């Protein structure tokens, strides 16, 4: 698991470590890491460092200092390095001097044009969101072969992932010490491109309790997705139940079933009008038309394609009465938003999977720019795990832990995609995994499956996700 720390925690760790080091040590470590990534990119895209043009965008703080020292190093390797002040008039004296000594030049904002590589050192963790218009106008003149953000793309809100007004859009971001929220959540994460984390020696001073988000890694998912042991049978692996579908939405049950089939449960029960279609597509599923005769399960999924009529409400009541871990998706979210009594006094774990409009129905207002806090607010209010869908899906557990999902592709924004996610999720819950981890694992595997299904520009549909989910599970399990 990769932990994510807010600016205050980074500052605290920095001052602890700096107390025992000569001044400027951390900045030199940062500049060395930045130089390495920049040089590798110049070699990869332009065949070498020597003679290539590099532009440093600077502001008034240490973020510009990092860029200037890295630029000095690149100038020492023969790159033609220029620097331009984008924000304010105060400059980083040490970095300025180093670049001048290495043969770099300072140009006026009017003279910027195309450069092979641009290092964005306008603002870092000292940045306030929303750059002044003068800085934005200067940035507009810059044309780059490749843009590398120093620490974070300038203009974003580092602690929330919001991007206010015009922010830098980078293909790569080189960050120092640890990930910050802007790297993993909200629109800012889309402006970062590929993230390179440089170890500058502050890790030991970062306190686990100060981290605000976690990013699951492949090894976490491999550990959480239970593998059957020799003593297991279909019941001990967990029985998942799906209550889904209606004459209006006959496809949702099939897609939810396909998602569940890729998960670790040993058996799947289905209740709904499409029971025949479900069995003909998935003969191993035990299906009945009515919820009353569905039999016992370790976890229920309710909502995909059920509609919100009286029959759907009755089914949902039955599911909730079972008091087993339950996923509420799609129409079930609309129903619990309308009938708050449904969740009153509930004790068994609950996972909700809203997109933004469903979130608004449940919470009363749409998610804010700080999506992690919004997800956590709903999780606390309803005492339920909340999987808030988005480009970077967030999972918030009422116990306070928040996960930012690192996988996925815009291709997943397709009809039926959520049904497969919900199906996989109920299978993970049935296998005994806690709600937070089950939701984080489902989001991770679903995102990875989307990447697989859309590989090489393939037009991916939700129908492709069942097979792709099996590939995703296999890929995390293969060391
Ligand atoms: N911590 C670490 O471990 C290490 C940190 N390092 C590096 O230091 C960076 C942080 O440097 P930093 O603290 O000097 O702040 P930085 O981001 O350069 O900007 C502050 C300046 O910008 C200004 N300003 C900001 N936003 C503005 C706006 N919207 N509009 C207008 N002005 C705005 C702001 O003005 P003020 O708020 O004072 O008015 C101030 O003058 C960090 O990201 C990393 O790159 C590494 O070297 C080593 C280890
Ligand atoms: K920056």
Pocket of ligand 1 (CB under 6 A): 10-11, 14, 26-27, 30, 59-66, 87-88, 123-128, 130-132, 150-151, 176-177, 200, 202
Q: Is 393 annotated as a binding residue?
A: yes
> Residue 415: how many CB atoms within 10 A of its CB?
11
Q: For a pocket test of ligand 1, which of 127, 137, 192, 197 has the largest count of ligand atoms closer than 8 A to its C-beta?
A: 127
| Domain shared by 226 and 99, yes or no | no
Task: Give the Å distance between the CA of 114 and the centre of ligand 1.
Answer: 26
Residue 171: pLDDT band (50, 70, 90) is very high
| Domain shared by 273 and 286, yes or no | yes
Instruction: Note the ligand closest to the C-alpha atom of 126.
Output: 1
Domain CATH number, residue 28: 3.40.50.10260
Task: Give the Å distance between the CA of 79 and the centre of ligand 1.
Answer: 26
pLDDT of 44 > 90? The answer is yes
pLDDT of 479 > 80? The answer is no
Q: Is 236 annotated as a binding residue?
A: no
| Domain shared by 84 and 11, yes or no | yes
| Domain shared by 234 and 125, yes or no | no
| Domain shared by 286 and 154, yes or no | no
| Domain shared by 80 and 224, yes or no | no
Counting the structural domains of the chain, the total is 2
SS3 416: coil
Task: Read off φ and ψ for residue 129, nearest 5 degrees.
Answer: -65, 145
DSSP-derived pairing of the beta strands 267-271 and 2-4: unpaired
Query: With the CA atoms of 40, 41, 43 and 48 taken in that order, what torsion angle do they form, in degrees rounded to the nearest 10?
Result: -100
User: Percent of the chain beyond pLDDT 70?
Assistant: 100
Task: Give the Å distance between the CA of 77 and the centre of ligand 2.
Answer: 23
| Domain shared by 100 and 166, yes or no | yes
Closest CA to 420 of 221, 224, 263, 220: 263
Q: Which of 215, 244, 270 is the last residue of a domain?
A: 215
**Residue 221: what pLDDT?**
98
| pLDDT, tens digit, 9 for 90 and up, residues 437-469 | 999 999 999 999 999 999 999 988 899 999 999
Task: Give the Å distance between the CA of 121 and the centre of ligand 1.
Answer: 9
**Residue 242: what pLDDT?**
98
Q: Is 355 annotated as a binding residue?
A: yes
| Mean pLDDT of the 252-267 span | 97
CA–CA distance from 211 to each of 142, 204, 459 (Å)?
35, 13, 38
Q: Considering just the CA atoms, what is the radius of gyration of the chain in Å? A: 25
| Domain shared by 158 and 174, yes or no | yes
Task: Give the Å distance between the CA of 154 and the centre of ligand 1.
Answer: 10
Q: Is 391 annotated as a binding residue?
A: yes
The alpha carbon dihedral of 155, 158, 163, 169 has a sign of positive
Residue 301: pLDDT band (50, 70, 90) is very high
* Under 8 Å between Cβ of 400 and 376: yes
> pTM for the whole thing?
0.95
| pLDDT, tens digit, 9 for 90 and up, residues 386-403 | 999 998 999 999 999 999
Task: Give the Å distance between the CA of 401 and the centre of ligand 2.
Answer: 28
Residue 422: pLDDT band (50, 70, 90) is very high
pLDDT of 241 > 80? The answer is yes
Task: Give the Å distance between the CA of 59 and the centre of ligand 1.
Answer: 8
pLDDT of 433 > 90? The answer is yes
| Mean pLDDT of the 174-197 span | 97
**Residue 415: what pLDDT?**
87
| Domain shared by 322 and 390, yes or no | yes
Q: Is 307 annotated as a binding residue?
A: no
Instruction: Note the ligand closest to the C-alpha atom of 59.
Output: 1
| Mean pLDDT of the 308-312 span | 96
**Residue 231: what pLDDT?**
95
| Domain shared by 410 and 361, yes or no | yes
| Domain shared by 171 and 222, yes or no | no
CA–CA distance from 72 to each of 24, 77, 172, 222 (Å)?
15, 9, 20, 43
| Domain shared by 290 and 386, yes or no | yes
**Residue 412: what pLDDT?**
87
**Residue 370: what pLDDT?**
94
Dist. CA 317–CA 88, nearest whole Å: 61
**Residue 164: what pLDDT?**
84
Q: For a pocket test of ligand 1, which of 29, 126, 137, 177 has the largest count of ligand atoms closer than 8 A to its C-beta?
A: 126
Residue 394, H or E segment: strand 394-396
* Under 8 Å between Cβ of 240 and 301: yes
Residue 454 structural domain: 218-477
| Closest atom of ligand 1 to CA, residue 200 | 49
Q: Which of 166, 189, 215 is the last residue of a domain?
A: 215
Q: Which of 177, 200, 215 is the last residue of a domain?
A: 215
Domain CATH number, residue 252: 3.40.1190.20
**Residue 478: what pLDDT?**
81
Nearest protein CA to atom 15 of ligand 1, as residue: 126
DSSP state of 128: P
Average pLDDT, the chain: 96
Q: For a pocket test of ligand 1, which of 63, 94, 163 has the largest count of ligand atoms closer than 8 A to its C-beta?
A: 63
């Amino acid at each position: 698991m990769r932990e994510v720390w807010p600016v205050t925690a980074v500052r605290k760790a920095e001052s602890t470590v700096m107390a025992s080091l000569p001044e400027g040590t951390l900045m030199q470590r940062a500049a060395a890491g930045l130089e390495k990534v920049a040089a590798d990119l110049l070699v990869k895209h332009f065949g070498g460092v020597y003679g290539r043009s590099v532009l440093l965008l600077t502001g008034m703080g240490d973020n510009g200092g990092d860029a200037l020292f890295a630029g000095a190093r690149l100038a020492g390797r023969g790159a033609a390095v220029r620097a331009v002040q984008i924000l304010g008039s105060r400059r980083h004296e040490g970095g300025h001097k180093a670049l001048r000594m290495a043969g770099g030049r300072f140009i006026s904002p009017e003279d910027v044009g195309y450069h092979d590589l641009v290092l964005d050192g306008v603002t870092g963790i000292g940045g306030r969101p929303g750059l002044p218009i003068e800085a934005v106008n200067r940035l507009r003149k810059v044309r780059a072969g490749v843009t590398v953000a120093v620490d974070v793309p300038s203009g974003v809100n580092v602690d929330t992932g919001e991007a206010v007004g015009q922010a830098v859009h980078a293909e790569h971001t080189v960050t120092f010490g640890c990930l910050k929220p802007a790297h993993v959540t909200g629109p800012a994460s889309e402006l970062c491109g590929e993230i390179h984390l440089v170890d500058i020696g502050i890790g030991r001073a970062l306190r686990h309790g100060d981290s605000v988000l976690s990013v699951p890694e492949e090894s976490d998912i491999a550990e959480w997705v239970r593998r059957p042991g020799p003593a297991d049978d279909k019941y001990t692996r967990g029985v998942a139940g799906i209550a889904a579908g209606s004459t209006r939405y006959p496809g949702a049950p099939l897609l939810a079933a396909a998602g569940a089939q890729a998960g670790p449960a040993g058996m799947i029960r289905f209740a709904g009008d499409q029971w025949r279609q479900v069995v003909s597509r998935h003969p191993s599923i035990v299906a009945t038309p009515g919820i009353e005769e569905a039999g016992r399960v370790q976890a229920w999924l309710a909502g995909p394609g059920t509609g919100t009529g009286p029959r759907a409400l009755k089914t949902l009541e039955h599911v909730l009465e079972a008091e087993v871990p339950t996923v509420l998706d799609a129409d079930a979210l609309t129903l619990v938003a309308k009938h708050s009594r449904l969740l009153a006094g509930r004790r068994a774990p609950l996972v909700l999977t809203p997109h933004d409009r469903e979130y608004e129905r449940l919470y009363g207002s749409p998610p804010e720019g700080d999506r992690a806090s919004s997800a956590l607010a709903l999780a606390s209010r309803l005492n339920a795990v909340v999987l808030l869908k988005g480009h970077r899906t967030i999972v918030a557990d009422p116990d306070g832990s928040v996960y930012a999902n690192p996988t996925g592709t815009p291709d997943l924004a397709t009809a039926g995609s959520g049904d497969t996610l919900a199906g996989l999720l109920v299978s993970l819950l049935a296998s005994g995994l806690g709600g937070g981890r089950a939701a984080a694992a489902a989001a991770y595997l679903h995102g990875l499956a989307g990447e697989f299904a859309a590989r090489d520009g393939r037009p991916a549909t939700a129908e492709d996700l069942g097979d792709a989910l099996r590939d995703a599970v296999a890929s995390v399990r293969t060391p």
